[in-house]
Amino acid sequence: MRKIKEVLRLKSLGLTSREIAKSVSVARSTIAEYLRRADEAGITWPLPDGLDDAALERLLFKLKQTPAAGGPIPDLRYIHTELKKPGVTLSLLWEEYLAENPDGYRYTQFCHHYRLFRGKLNLCMRQVHKAGEKMFVDFAGQTVPVIDSRTGEIRDAQIFIAALGASNYTFARAVWSQELENWVACHTGAFEFFGGAAAITIPDNLRTGISKACRYEPDVNPTYQDMIEHYGSVVIPARAGHPKDKPKVEVAVQVVERWILARLRSRTFFSLAELNGAIDELLEKLNNRPFAKLEGTRKSLFEAIDRPALKPLPAHPYEFARFKVATVNIDYHIDVFGHYYSVPYQLVKEKVDARVTDRVVEVLFKGRRVASHMRAFKKGGATTEAAHMPRAHRAYLEWTPSRIINWAATVGPNCAAFVEALMEAKKHPEQGYRAALGVIRLAKTYTPERLEAAAARALSARALSYKSVKLILKNNLDSLPEEPQAALPVIEHNNIRGADYYH
């Protein structure tokens, strides 16, 4: 109203609208509107004594008067509660009100009265929280010291807090750290406490849950994302540096610090379980404490609004899993924490995701599971599934020493004996597979009869190799008669004691 008074004063001094506009920094069209309204209201400068700003505003800007309604003022607390339910709007509530009170307020006045009521609640209403829609999570700034009864070491326990948007129903849990395992365990504990999962989970940009903060496409930790999907929820992190994106949990943190942690400040705890027992006791009192400006409590509002709208819990709780990106080696295995697991050989050189729990290792390629193995903990060991191998490799695995010997026996007994001796000469029989198969295949190039003779000659000479047999056949040594070994001559010498000496 200060500028309007100045416009009237300057007009009385004879200034033009252009000059007045330049003086008060207001558009000429606005100056003309002010002067028109003053002329219609019969207001001139100087203003009459006792005409304050409020009276001047009423004279210049007369509001349309709405005919008084004959019906009662609607139950504004009931309207405020009902609006939190899915699909409920002010228009629907007004229709229900008008059905009971045909002479009641029109829609504009109905909304006006509700907005006046809402403004007096002293609550931040910039966000509309539907029932079962949002769960806000964060860690409190305060910690609680816990003493190790054996060593006397003092550790600070972190306090995780979750709050539902519509009812403010609150969950709190003490954990040793904000690491991923505890972060996931706290969420699963909150879902169990609430008896269901909210449609949206809103965390802060804690590095444990949000690998890379971004206003448009934040990078969610794979394990955290996997856990949230298990419960049918989605993650929408608050913007970095915008605490008003998660006001419910900000208030819940303050309430927990004031109504729970402050009451525990003088107590000494010797275990995390003891601390959580004390928190649970005070948490129940907090959730049953009456609201200051609304009827009911957090728990009563939760039972009436949030609980029916939460998503049901899955049949089994989430099993903690880590994710690891690996490249499939040429032996169609991937390295997962020091152990090797097979994948289909067609994925050689491709990047895959390994989902690792305490029991199972699942391999995912472009979001599709391509392999699953029982978890093994032997460093350097390998877990191989035959179906993942090429056909030639599977056939190779089917060979055994007895099978190779039986195949060599189809050529002849000498060939079978040679092959058996060849494999026995190796540290591991598998090392002789390739050479044994090569010897047997020589029957195709040469005749089985010649191979049988060559095997006998090589066996007698203890020349146990594929190359020895091949050279015998190539040089036609198999056709030569074997010369009997000449008896070694007896050597007589004074330094040779002879066999009798040892009797």
**pLDDT per residue as tens digits for the range 273-314:** 999 999 999 999 999 999 887 788 999 999 998 999 999 999
In the predicted model, is pLDDT for residue 81 greater than 60? Answer: yes
Over range 45-49, report the average pLDDT. Answer: 80
Beta bridge partners of 158: 143, 175
Provide the pLDDT for residue 268. 93
Q: Residue 342: enclosing H or E segment and its boundaries? A: strand 339-342
Provide the pLDDT for residue 68. 45
Question: Angle 166-172-173 (CA atoms, 0-180°, nearest 5)?
Answer: 150
C-beta separation of 249 from 172 below 8 A: no
pLDDT band for 144, please (50, 70, 90 cuts).
very high
Provide the pLDDT for residue 184. 93
| Contacts (Cβ under 8 Å, ≥6 apart) of 475 | none
Percent of the chain residues past pLDDT 90, beyond the cut? 32
CA 172 to mean position of chain CA atoms: 20
Q: Tell me: domain 134-309, CATH 3.20.20.80, correct?
A: no
Provide the pLDDT for residue 63. 46
Q: By C-alpha distance, which of 294, 297, 206 is closest to 259?
A: 297
Over range 102-130, report the average pLDDT. Answer: 76
Provide the pLDDT for residue 212. 60
The Cα 332–Cα 334 span in angstroms is 7
Provide the pLDDT for residue 241. 57
Average pLDDT, the chain: 84
- Structure tokens given for 310: 């939460």
**pLDDT winner (highest mean) among 242-246, 400-404, 438-442, 495-499:** 438-442
